[in-house]
């Protein structure tokens, strides 16, 4: 068994919808394209056939990866989330001690990360640095430009 991925119910639902779409819509569409290419005759020099077979291979790989992620997913019980220290699904407000800029992030599992929505993966250096810390703590986070001290201003749900 691979590593367990902790995920919200919504995140798991989205992954299942994506898998469903790939299996029920994309897979039959690619099979149809392969069938049409075969009907055109000689497949040894048929670019459409080769492209469809490549697309099929990539799709099957995506389906396998997503199926494995879904199989290893564990739903996080959002009612049991603690805000006394930073953990998964917390909305953390941090202040850059150098320029006083304030940022807010929600720490989520890798598949749910979306920087545009302020959701950062638990795998990121910022999230790793914040985990287990409390309000008022100052953490040194390694970023590409060096190390920045961040103060934890707030931890919420």
Tokens representing 93 are 């407000």
Q: Where are the domains of the chain?
A: 5-75, 80-156
Collect all residues with Cβ–Cβ distance below 8 Å to 20 and sequence separation of at least 6. Answer: none
Q: How many CB atoms lie within 10 A of CB 129?
A: 19
pLDDT of the chain, 157 residues: tens digit per residue: 456 677 888 888 989 999 999 999 999 999 999 888 888 877 777 888 888 999 999 999 999 999 988 888 888 777 777 778 888 888 999 999 999 999 999 998 888 889 899 999 988 999 999 999 999 999 999 888 889 999 999 998 8
Look at residues 65, 122, 43, 130 and name the one whose alpha carbon lies nearest to residue 95: 130
Model's pTM, two decimal places? 0.60
Fold of the domain built from segment(s) 80-156: Chitinase A; domain 3 (3.10.50)
Domain boundaries 5-75, corresponding CATH code: 1.10.287.180
**Is 5-75's fold the same as 80-156's?**
no
């Amino acid at each position: 068994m691979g590593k367990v991925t902790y995920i919200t119910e919504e995140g798991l639902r989205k992954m299942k919808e994506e898998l469903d779409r790939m299996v029920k819509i994309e897979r039959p569409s690619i099979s149809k394209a392969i069938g049409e290419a075969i009907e055109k005759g000689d497949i040894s020099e048929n670019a459409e056939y080769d492209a469809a077979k490549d697309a099929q291979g990539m799709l099957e790989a995506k389906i396998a990866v997503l199926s494995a992620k879904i199989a290893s997913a564990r739903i996080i019980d959002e009612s049991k989330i603690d805000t006394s220290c930073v953990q998964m699904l917390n909305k953390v407000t941090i202040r850059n001690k150098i320029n006083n800029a304030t940022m807010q992030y929600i720490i989520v599992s890798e598949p749910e990360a979306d920087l545009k929505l302020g959701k950062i993966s638990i795998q990121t250096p910022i999230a790793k640095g914040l985990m287990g810390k409390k309000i008022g703590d100052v953490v040194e986070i390694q970023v590409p430009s060096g190390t920045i001290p961040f103060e934890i201003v707030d931890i919420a749900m």
